Structure formats: structure tokens, C-alpha cells
Amino acid sequence: MSTQNGKLLELRQVTQAYGRGERRFIAVDKVTLTLSAGEFVALLGPSGCGKSTLLRIIAGLQAPTSGQVLYRGQPLRGVNPHAAIVFQTFALFPWLTVQENVEVALKARGIPASLRGPRAVDLLDRVGLDGFESAYPRELSGGMRQKVGFARAMAVEPELLCLDEPFSALDVLSAEALRGELLELWTGGSIPTQAILMVTHNIEEAVFMADRIVVMDKGPGRVVSEVKVELPHPRDRKSAVFLATIDRVYATLAGQTEPESVELGSAPGEPGRTRPLPEVSVADLAGLLERLNEMPGNRADIYRLTEDLQVDSSVLLTLIEAAELLGFASVAQGDITLTPLGETFAEASILGRKAIFAARLRRVPLFRWLLTLLKAAQGGRLDREVVHTALELEFPRDMAARQAETAIEWGRYAELLAYDDADEVFYIEPAAA
């Protein structure tokens, strides 16, 4: 990683229109963006906001309708020789071996034939593909193919490495491994790359990897804000700062696209109605979010979902209520749609999920109230009896008991509170205190 701080790339009022006549529309509207040497920037936004369009413009694969693109202060003309793009699914030549696929890129750079072999082997070694040089792409897993894609992009020794949702087509484990490897290459300084621009629609991924997150929205595609991530690598997904950053990015996204329409209710003792926790298990909630994440547009007709998930409609409605309360989904006109946070949750690792869940749960008044009670209690511990009695001021007796159960399950999952079954005592997780 370079510490030098020159401006590499500058977009000034870049606008891209597509289509003609009636069909003409503005896909990207007056985007201004600077990328300096040493920076890892994530471009985050919903599908269709123009992220890929911007990457193609930066790589010089297309010229914008208006606005300026400067590379090292010079207007960009034609393909940017200093940039390389890795796409979501990297197009490898199926008839060439892994090593040959990398050598092609070296040849294109004019590297003499005698040097290509050793250089390709070295690059493959660096992305963790040692021993797979003579394999063919079809023999590799998605994650390994994407690694070949990285090695090929690296063969170009790009000053600017552009990644277009590089992990989104991979299974969870391969994606996680590859994120780690990319970060190692980047922070270890073993590649000549001066800056990385990564497109993603995954908040957690952006916060995990980037130094700066440029948040975009659509209709038309534009930059709505920027969030700096001042956390050293390797980042701890469970740390308070990490969670707070995820929340801040989410708030930015949500704040720009729609007001917080969910009625959170009030906590016991506060004026207004105390909203009970929807009595569902985290596992069932996760199941709903995962299913929605598989659907086109992350959206489903609620009525159809009942059949699809084979659950009772009252159970489904409670699940949906929980998803809305936590900001994972929104409901309109009989359809339920995942929010960007819900999508992030569905795609996150277990730790990432816990982190997101905890950050959201802290905002739910009833839960916040319970945490406050525990913090105020002697040693951060409260007898179940006491919690029940407090809840019974708000809810009927049997419901108060079920509320306590739900709070225990959710709190344990989020690692915010714990419950000692033997002593029947609630206590606060030391890490959450």
C-alpha cells in the first residue's frame, strides 16, 4: 500500500444518459469523486444506481455523456492503461489452463515469453492457487476461478484496481476467504496497486474492507454521502466501532431513500404504547430473509410467501413484523421487500449477522429498557421474577412470560444479554456492558 497521497482519479460532474428519444434516461447524475493513492474505496448502493457504469467510465471502457474524467490530472481518453477491472464473474478462457489464462495478460503487456511463465506462477501463488497452474477453469470452484481473475488483473500491475461486486457470485466461505486474501495483498504492500475501488451492495463487506465508503442511491444514480472507516486491519466484526459504522452507513442509506417508517413504540414506563417483541425465533427470521434474498428484486408477494414457506399466515405475519421492526424488510401493497440491511444480513457470516442484529436490537425500545434495567442492577444481574413483574405492568401475565422468552433468545443471539437457566437470572454480556 502506498502512503503517497497524490490524486489518482478525479470524476467531475460525470453524467451518463442511456437510450434515445422517449427511452432516454439519466443513469448517473453529476457524480463528483476523487480517489487518491493509498485508498481503498467502496462504492455502495442499490442495484441500478450506476455503480458498474461508473467503473466502466473509470476504466475508460465508455465515455460519459458529460463531465470530466481525469487520471493523474490528465483527461482520460480511451481505455485507461493504469486500471484493471475484476468483474463479478470473471471471464476466463475455458480452453486455456489457469497459468495460461494469466500469461495472456502478461503477453498483452508485452512481457517477453521467457518471463511470463515464472511471473504467472508467482502471481498464482500469491492468490493462493499454488499447485493449480495446469488445471482448467472448469475444474475449479467459483472461488478459485475468481482467484484466477484476481491473478490476471494483478498481472496487469494496475495502479488502480477496480472490482465490480467481486464476491457476490461466490458461496459464503469462498467469499470470506477471498476477501481476506485480497486484504492481505493490499495491506501487505506486495502488489504495485496504488488504489482499489470496489463496487458492492453489501454494507458489511464495505465496512470490513474499505477506508472510505461512497454511498450512492438511484433514481437517478448519484452520490448521496461518504462515510470514512477509520479502523485498522484486520477488522473485528464484533467491535463496537465496527457495529456503529455499519449502523451509520445503514442510516445514511435509509435516511436517503425513505424515512424510518417503522413504529418502534415506546419502552415500559415511557409515554405511549409499549410495543411487544414479535414472538419469533431468530432462526425463522433468518430463514425468511434468506428466502427473500433469493427472489428477484429481493421482493415477494406476502400471500404467495405463505405457500412458499409453508407456514401459517399468522406466523408469517409475525415474522414480517419482526423483519420490519429490525429494519430488515419493508412492506407495501401486499409485497415485502428486503432493505439493504436485510440483504446484508442474509449474506453475512454468522458473526456479521450477530453484529447487525445486535446493532438493531439496541434500538428496540423494549430491549433497550431491559438493557438499562440490567445495567442499573447490582452486578448487572436480575432475577427472572423481577423482569417478569416489570413486564406484567405492560402485558398480560402469559404474554409477559413469552416476551421474556423472546428477549432471552434474541439477546443471546445478539450476545447482548445472557440468561442463566439454573439460577433463573438475566445478566448482561460483559462485552455488551
Binding site for ligand ADP (CB under 6 A): 18-19, 27, 45, 47-53, 221
Question: Among 9, 27, 21, 17, which residue's Cα sits nearest to residue 65?
Answer: 17
State yes or no: residue 202 binds Mg ion (CB under 5 A).
no
Residue 188 binds which of Mg ion, ligand ADP, none (CB < 5-8 A, kind-dependent): none
DSSP 139: G
Stretch that binds Mg ion, among 52-60, 243-251, 278-286, 418-426 (CB under 5 A): 52-60
Tell me if the bond preceding 220 is cis, omega within 30° of 0. yes
Least distance from Mg ion to the Cβ atom of residue 256, Å: 19
Least distance from ligand ADP to the Cβ atom of residue 27, Å: 3
- Smaller CB distance to ligand ADP: residue 199 or 366? 199
- Smaller CB distance to Mg ion: residue 36 or 88? 88
Least distance from ligand ADP to the Cβ atom of residue 228, Å: 22
Least distance from ligand ADP to the Cβ atom of residue 416, Å: 34
- Smaller CB distance to Mg ion: residue 52 or 101? 52
Are 174 and 140 within 8 A, CB to CB? no
Q: How many residues bind Mg ion (CB under 5 A)?
A: 1
Least distance from Mg ion to the Cβ atom of residue 428, Å: 43
Tell me if the bond preceding 365 is cis, omega within 30° of 0. no
Stretch that binds Mg ion, among 46-54, 232-240, 353-361, 366-374 (CB under 5 A): 46-54
- Smaller CB distance to ligand ADP: residue 46 or 380? 46
Please tell me the distance from the alpha carbon of residue 147 to that of residue 127, in angstroms, as a whole number. 6
Are 86 and 163 within 8 A, CB to CB? yes
Q: List all residues 6 or more positions away from 173 whose beta carbon is below 8 Å from its beta carbon.
A: 143
Are 37 and 2 within 8 A, CB to CB? yes
Please tell me the distance from the alpha carbon of residue 233 to that of residue 222, in angstroms, as a whole number. 29
Residue 53 binds which of ligand ADP, Mg ion, none (CB < 5-8 A, kind-dependent): ligand ADP
Please tell me the distance from the alpha carbon of residue 23 to that of residue 9, in angstroms, as a whole number. 31
Residue 297 binds which of Mg ion, ligand ADP, none (CB < 5-8 A, kind-dependent): none
Residue 272 binds which of ligand ADP, Mg ion, none (CB < 5-8 A, kind-dependent): none
State yes or no: residue 52 binds Mg ion (CB under 5 A).
yes
Residue 18 binds which of ligand ADP, Mg ion, none (CB < 5-8 A, kind-dependent): ligand ADP
Please tell me the distance from the alpha carbon of residue 151 to that of residue 103, in angstroms, as a whole number. 10
Provide the β-strand partners of residue 85: 162
**What residue type is assigned to position 382 of the chain?**
L
Residue 50 binds which of ligand ADP, Mg ion, none (CB < 5-8 A, kind-dependent): ligand ADP
Least distance from ligand ADP to the Cβ atom of residue 248, Å: 21
Cα dihedral 291, 292, 294, 295 in deg (nearest 10): 130
Cα–chain-centroid distance for residue 404? 32
Stretch that binds Mg ion, among 45-53, 74-82, 274-282, 370-378 (CB under 5 A): 45-53
- Smaller CB distance to Mg ion: residue 83 or 120? 83
Stretch that binds Mg ion, among 51-59, 73-81, 299-307, 316-324 (CB under 5 A): 51-59
Question: Among 20, 16, 47, 18, which residue's Cα sits nearest to residue 31?
Answer: 16
Residue 1 binds which of Mg ion, ligand ADP, none (CB < 5-8 A, kind-dependent): none
State yes or no: residue 200 binds Mg ion (CB under 5 A).
no
Least distance from ligand ADP to the Cβ atom of residue 96, Å: 28
Q: List all residues 6 or more positions away from 57 whose beta carbon is below 8 Å from its beta carbon.
A: 11, 14, 16, 28, 63, 64, 69
State yes or no: residue 53 binds Mg ion (CB under 5 A).
no
- Smaller CB distance to Mg ion: residue 52 or 146? 52
Least distance from ligand ADP to the Cβ atom of residue 62, Å: 8
Please tell me the distance from the alpha carbon of residue 280 to that of residue 365, in angstroms, as a whole number. 17
Residue 48 binds which of ligand ADP, Mg ion, none (CB < 5-8 A, kind-dependent): ligand ADP
Residue 73 binds which of ligand ADP, Mg ion, none (CB < 5-8 A, kind-dependent): none
Residue 278 binds which of ligand ADP, Mg ion, none (CB < 5-8 A, kind-dependent): none
Assign 3-class secondary structure to 307-346: HHHCCCHHHHHHHHHHHHHCCCEEEECCEEEECHHHHHHH
Residue 158 binds which of ligand ADP, Mg ion, none (CB < 5-8 A, kind-dependent): none
CA–CA distances in Å: residue 33 to residues 61, 70, 114, 248, 251 = 18, 10, 41, 20, 21
- Smaller CB distance to ligand ADP: residue 53 or 406? 53
Please tell me the distance from the alpha carbon of residue 419 to that of residue 261, in angstroms, as a whole number. 32
Which residues contact Mg ion by CB under 5 A? 52
